[in-house]
Amino acid sequence: MPTPLNGIRVVDLTRILSGPFCTMLLGDMGADVVKVEAPGEGDPIRHAGAAVEGLSWYFAAFNRNKRSVVLDLRAPEGREVLAGLLGQADVLVENFRPGVLAEMGFDDARLQALNPRLVVASINGYGASGPYADRPAFDFVIQAMSGFMSVNGKPDDAPLRSGLPITDLVAGLYAAFGIVNALHARHHTGRGQRVEAAMMNGIMSMFAYLASDYLATGVSPVRCGNDHPITAPYGLFHTADGVIAVAPSTEAILRRFLRELALEHVLEDTRFQTNNLRMRNRADLDALINAQLQSDGQENWVRRLNKAGVPCGLVQDIGQALSDPQVLHQEMVVEMEHPGHGPVRMLGFPVKLSDTPCQLRYPAPPHGAHTQQVLQDWNIAAATLQTTSVTTE
């Protein structure tokens, strides 16, 4: 079956999370991803997270559809092989601090000389230029600096980080988007180019109305917990046996919600006639809603309200979400045999393409397992091969 990025060769110098996520997305779309790792330990994620039969499932998930080549980039021979790979590649992805790749001998001029069709993608914290370009970056700090934490949490509490390392993942996805756009541009220009995705820029691009409202008014949005800043009712409500999340996002949906609760008359109550009034008397209206919800359990309310066209759901933990029949139907949990480690379960593909779907082609590679194979596949000169005595685990 064909894949969108069939034939696209990616040299992946990234480690940890955002870079490997980017190249996983490319690999899922069919690119030939060669993960270059240092001798010794390799990507530190090989030893992070929960392991089963000696294999990190975190590493397994984010490095599927890749082959591993071990190169010592501190040694001239390793760099020579890298130059050979780059000469054959379509894409280079790196998440070093800005400047490190050039220090290794691969500045723009060298890369251009090696391969003018190469797309060179960098993922970093704050961007490769500007006053913070040299700062080390980490998801938690970017969440703080970007403003994300300032709007996450309850009004009277401290700013709160997201439970997910969201700035890493968003940056990785943006990098993948930029890379495929650069490959598209190459159809017209015949040339590669630089692509850059910074964690800070990526998460800030997701501020939506929070950013536009600040820019329009000069007033920064504040934390408001689970209460929507401009809509009521909205939030978590209490049924006979647990909480449900309800978001009546328009006046029409609100009317359906209240009708289902036999509360439609409250819209004639002078406390609740407009959204502004409902915001002011939110607690009173929530109490009326919670009282009516006591007549049934959460599963039934979720079914009834959704059927009535009211967005509504359970508050699931990660295990419940990953066992949810809809999530399983969408194949968001997939399983692959890892030789020597048994079957590994991992997240599936978030984008579905009907004719050239993402595919699980091979499991995450043992450290250096494909060094010889890749150099042969990619026609790296035998002379170079001989100077590189590579070891595999």
- Listed ranges 86-94, 174-182, 277-285, 371-379: which one lies at the site for a copy of itself (CB under 8 A): 174-182
User: Among residues 349 and 362, whose Cβ is nearest to a copy of itself?
Assistant: 349
Q: Are strands 312-314 and 333-338 parallel, antiparallel or unpaired?
A: unpaired
- Closest CB to a copy of itself among residues 39, 313: 313
CB 45 within 8 A of CB 56: yes
Q: Looking only at residues 72 through 111 of this chain, which bind a copy of itself when binding is defined by CB under 8 A?
A: none
Which residue reads 């938690």 in tokens? 140
Query: To the nearest whole angstrom, how small is the minimum distance from the Cβ of residue 310 to a copy of itself?
Result: 7
Give the three-state DSSP class for 240. coil
Considering the complex, state which of residue 33 and residue 182 has its C-beta at the smaller distance from a copy of itself.
182
Q: Is 59 exposed, middle or buried (0-12, 13-18, 19+ CB in 10 A)?
A: buried
Cα 290 → chain centroid = 36
332: contact with a copy of itself by CB under 8 A: yes
Q: Which residue's entry shows tokens 């029409």? A: 252
Given the residues 47, 184, 187, 228, the one annotated as active site: 228
How many whole angstroms from its chain centre is CA 380? 33
**What is the Cα 308 distance to its own chain's centre?**
33
Please identify which residue in 100, 104, 314, 390 interacts with a copy of itself, judged by CB under 8 A: 314
Instruction: Give catalytic status of residue 228 as yes or no.
Output: yes
User: What distance in Å separates the CA atoms of residue 238 and residue 242, rounded to the nearest whole number?
Assistant: 6
Residue 73 beta carbon to a copy of itself: minimum distance, rounded to whole angstroms: 19
Please list every residue from 204 through 223 that binds a copy of itself, using CB under 8 A: 204-223
Of 66-74, 262-270, 302-310, 378-386, the segment contacting a copy of itself by CB under 8 A is 302-310
Q: What DSSP element (H or E) covers 149?
A: none
Kind and range of the H or E element at 24? helix 18-28
- Strand, helix or coil for residue 199: helix
Q: Quote the CA–CA distance of 154 and 161 in Å, as a whole number.
A: 12
**Nearest in space to 40 (alpha carbons), one of 12, 11, 71, 61:** 71
Cβ nearer to a copy of itself, comparing 96 with 132: 132
> Does the protein bind a copy of itself through residue 385 (CB under 8 A)?
no
Which is closer to a copy of itself, CB of 84 or CB of 178?
178
Residues 228, 255, 259, 304: which binds a copy of itself (CB under 8 A)?
Answer: 228
Q: 69 vs 145, which CB is nearer to a copy of itself?
A: 145
Q: Distance between CA atoms of 289 and 287, rounded to whole angstroms?
A: 5
Residue 1 found at the interface with a copy of itself (CB under 8 A): no
Q: How far is the CB of 280 from a copy of itself (least distance, A)?
A: 20
For position 188 contacting a copy of itself by CB under 8 A, the verdict is: yes
Given 311, 376, 387, 393, the residue binding a copy of itself (CB under 8 A)? 311
**Residue 201 engages a copy of itself in binding (rule: CB under 8 A):** yes
The verdict on 360 binding a copy of itself (CB under 8 A) reads no
**How many other C-beta atoms are found inside a 10 Å radius of the C-beta of residue 111?**
19
Among 40, 54, 131, 155, interactor with a copy of itself by CB under 8 A:
131
Of 164, 240, 252, 291, which one interacts with a copy of itself (CB under 8 A)?
164
Cβ(71)–Cβ(78) below 8 Å: yes
Question: Would you name the residues annotated as active-site residues?
Answer: 228
